[in-house]
A and B are shown apart, each in its own frame.
Chain A
Amino acid sequence: MSEAATHDHHDDHGPEKGWRRWVFSTNHKDIGTMYLVFALTMLFVGGAMSFVIRAELFQPGLQFVNPDFFNQMTTLHALIMVFGMIMPAFAGFANWMIPLQIGAPDMALPRMNNWSFWILPFAGVMLLSTLFMEGGAPASGWTLYPPLVLQMGNGFPFAMFSVHLLGISSIMAAINIIVTILNLRAPGMTLMRMPMFVWTWLITAYLLIAVMPVLAGGVTMLITDQFFGTSFFQAAGGGDPVLFQHIFWFFGHPEVYIIILPAFGIISEIIPTFARKPLFGHDAMVYAVAGIAFLSFIVWAHHMFTVGMPLAGQLFFMMSTTLIAIPTAVKVFNWTATMWKGAMTFETPMLFAIGFLFMFTIGGFSGLMLAIAPADFQYHDSYFVVAHFHYVLVPGALFAAIGGAYYWMPKWTGHMYDEKLGKIHFWLSAVFVNLTFFPQHFVGLAGMPRRIPDYSTQFADFNMMSSVGAFGFGLSQLLLVYVIIKCVRGGEKATAEVWDHPPGLEWTVPSPAPHHTFDEPPVLK
């Protein structure tokens, strides 16, 4: 009797109705969905800011905004895209896919999971609210360098606490991911048998735990400098403005890999599926990711070659930075070798993965150029840098996220997305992203500094191209929203496998994935 009652209770445990389902959710799939919807929303908020930037830079002279507001836009665009868009997007993938890929019933710490998501909207709103305060939003660049950031108006404490909250959210998500991966794997799923996406997130989560507190420390020191009379970064009180840069980039460089490693993971899932061939060198990939993660801690000052470092410091950071090219190259070669002698088809996720492969590699090459310190004296803080990091972040990280969304959307919704629209979306994105960012290499090399609202007439033509590309790229993303809505509402029924014998446990559960999966751990052969 009691046994039957327990059983019934278990079957009844579906999602709650209405808003309570989302606000009180402890379900990894619902929380994953919320992360992804939040990230998509923020993509358009941050994108709107880039529209302001590119509209102002469409031609020389100031047409639309004053320089201070322009600086607020560049700063918020970066903060929102990094902390509000790409990191939550990958956290959404982690929530949805890690339990499904390791055969776990849910994340290990479901209530904390709820909390780490729900901090985000409040932190985001708090950050955006600074736009309406006296003195406006932060205008110091996302790097928040003092003393400039300390000149900010009333929005300063709000922006700083918002960064704190975003950091707390990330740390909790990271703890949850580590605990889940280390404790809830299905029997037989040894560490070295884990899918690459799980591996990359495991390492990313450790990076987050290592560096987010460092950023929090730096931000706290900014707050005490501003309000409590300390002089960590104020030269007039014996402080050192460059100290903040060391702290920031000790966080900031691993942060770069926090963004790109989950992207590597997604690409490593997509390519084997559509090449119909197992991932080449799985173990080497794991070691490469671990190697990149380790190196990310000893290269930070390559962001600071011009601050006046001793020669020995410059040499060290130049050498350590070039080393990163080795594990990164290994990964690119492994993906290529995965495609080699495969039988490829080119559905939308594969198109985005191939786009990633080509364009991330371009960003990698410009990264190698930036590592060469004497040449960096020319590249540093020019549009060449802007081109470089947008290549690794947009057709790099963002393309991986979009590819992953197409790849797993049938599993999430139970419907196939519109393949034709997906392909159009890819080609529009690929053309416009290059039109936007490739010319920025040229103006950077020709001497155009970054973060300027107006420029000398010699840079006009390439800037106009870049703006046209940016508008096109932004508008193309509306197509993504349309495809997602269409797929959620209906479409061809997806099978459990969705694709042609894809690897991974997530394809053994029905599509859409039921509210609860793997109540009984799966058996791995």
Chain B
Amino acid sequence: MTRFLMPILGSFAAMSTARADWELNMPVGVTDISAEVYDLHMMVLGVCTIAAALTFGAMIYALVNFRKSTGAEAESWSHNTKAEIIWTVVPTLILIAMAVPAAQTLVKIEDNRGSEMTVKITGYQWKWHYEYIGEDVGFYSTLASASNSARRLGNEVDVYDVDNYLLDVDQPLVIPVDTHVRYLITSNDVIHAWWVPAFAVKKDAVPGFVNEGWFKVNEPGTYRGQCAELCGKDHGFMPVVVEVLSKADYADWLDAQKSS
């Protein structure tokens, strides 16, 4: 049903592809989960849009028709049991109907079985560290130098001349396509959050605790995100970049990392 409603309700989405600068909606993303999350988002947005149309419609009708200036006489009733029952029960049913698919998606997200490789992500003030468990490969990922010099207060660089300003790193996380990647995430100092919108993954990196999650990316490419939990002065300057390679390219990359 969501798929059917989407074209009608998704006027936001239709406009969004025209120009990246005027991006209006959540990305559909490149994982099965992110597509499901997008559908859920569009479903709730659709329900809210319809409910808003009805509620605001009633309000506007009242505002237009029950004005003293047009000679309306106030009535004196203040109860209508039937109406009250209807507008309590109907929203309840709608909420239950929305909660069911949301719960199903949540169960899928939290099902951590079946991982094919594991990456350990550690947040630092203000960079990320990635460690490929069992491969003896690990490195820090920090804001790219072009962005880092352009973002200084009082410098002369036009940030529009910097490619992927604030969303570029010196060394991205590299993973293979079509692979169930489990991530373990923790922090070395304060709480951070690792967010890649295209994967619908956002997980807090909490010092002293290891959180767990997974993603399986369907398309090779470069995907960008940011730290999402306020972590100090350079919170806005520790982006997340994930490069998704074909399985063969990934194997080559991993070999090169091991030998270097």
A413 within 8 Å of B (CB atoms): no
Contact flags (1/0) for B115-132 with A, using CB distance below 8 Å? 000000000000000000
Q: Say yes or no for A220: interface residue by CB 8 A criterion.
A: no
* Cross-interface CB contact of A308 among B63, B76, B167, B209, cutoff 8 Å: B209
A484 at interface by CB-CB < 8 Å: no
Interface residues of B in 48-81 (CB under 8 A from A): 48, 51-52, 55-56, 58-59, 62-63, 66-69, 72-80
> Which A residues are in CB contact (< 8 Å) with B24?
442, 445-446
Q: A306-B193, A318-B102 are in contact. Are A281 and B40 (CB under 8 A)?
A: no
* Interface pair A372/B40, CB less than 8 Å apart: yes
B144 at the binding interface (Cβ < 8 Å)? no
The answer to whether A337 and B74 touch (CB under 8 A), given A141-B230, A369-B41, is: no
User: Chain A interface residue count: which class?
Assistant: 35 or more
Interface pair B209/A322, CB less than 8 Å apart: no
When distances are taken between beta carbons in the complex, the residues of chain B under 8 Å from A322 are 95, 98-99
Contact A447 B204 (CB under 8 A): no
Q: Mark B188-202, 1 if CB is under 8 A from A, else 0.
A: 011101010100111
Set of chain B residues within 8 Å of A499, measured between Cβ atoms:
none
Could you tell me if B68 and A60 are in contact, using CB atoms closer than 8 angstroms? no
Q: Is the CB of B25 within 8 A of A446?
A: yes
Contact of B234 with A by CB under 8 A: yes
B192 to chain A, nearest CB (A): 10
Q: Is A133 an interface residue (CB 8 A)?
A: no
* Cross-chain contact A375 with B41 (CB below 8 angstroms): yes
With A279-B78, A354-B63 as known contacts, state yes or no: A365 contacts B48, CB within 8 Å.
yes
Tell me, rounded to whole Å, the shortest Cβ–Cβ distance linking A150 to chain B: 9
A141 to B68 CA separation, bound complex (whole angstroms): 48
What separation, in Å, do the CA atoms of A452 and B236 have in the docked complex? 5
Contact of A242 among B98, B150, B158, B209 (CB under 8 A): B209
Complexed CA–CA distance, A277 and B78 (Å): 8
Interface of B is mostly: mixed
Least CB distance from B172 to A in Å reads 16
- Contact assessment for B153 and A235 in the assembled complex, using a CB-CB cutoff below 8 Å: no
Total interface residues on B, CB under 8 Å, equals 96
Instruction: Tell me whether A446 and B23 are in contact (CB under 8 A).
Output: yes
| A230 to B: closest C-beta gap in Å | 15
- The interface bits of chain B over 80-96 (1 if a CB of A lies within 8 angstroms of the residue's CB, else 0) are 10011001100110010
Contact status A458-B23, CB under 8 Å: yes
- Any chain A CB within 8 A of the CB of B248? no
Contacts A60-B159, A280-B78, A373-B106 given; indicate if A380 touches B202 (C-beta within 8 A): yes
**Minimal Cβ-Cβ distance residue in B for A61:** B159
Beta-carbon contacts of B211-232 to A below 8 Å, as 1s and 0s? Answer: 1100000000000011111111
Contact between B110 and A311 (Cβ–Cβ < 8 Å)?
yes
A307 on the interface (CB 8 Å rule)? Answer: yes
Out of A241, A280, A319, A454, which one reaches B236, CB within 8 Å? A454
- By the criterion CB–CB under 8 Å, are A378 and B235 in contact? no
B18 contacts chain A at the CB level, 8 A cutoff: no
- Chain B residues proximal to chain A, CB less than 8 Å: 20-27, 33, 36-37, 40-41, 44-45, 48, 51-52, 55-56, 58-59, 62-63, 66-69, 72-80, 83-84, 87-88, 91-92, 95, 98-99, 102-103, 105-107, 109-110, 150-154, 157-160, 164-167, 189-191, 193, 195, 197, 200-204, 206-209, 211-212, 225-237
16 contacts between A and B (CB under 8 A): A60-B165, A71-B235, A148-B230, A306-B193, A314-B110, A315-B103, A336-B58, A336-B62, A341-B77, A343-B74, A365-B48, A369-B41, A375-B102, A445-B26, A451-B230, A452-B226
Return the 5 tightest CB-CB contacts between A and B, nearest first.
Answer: A235-B208, A452-B236, A446-B23, A308-B211, A276-B74
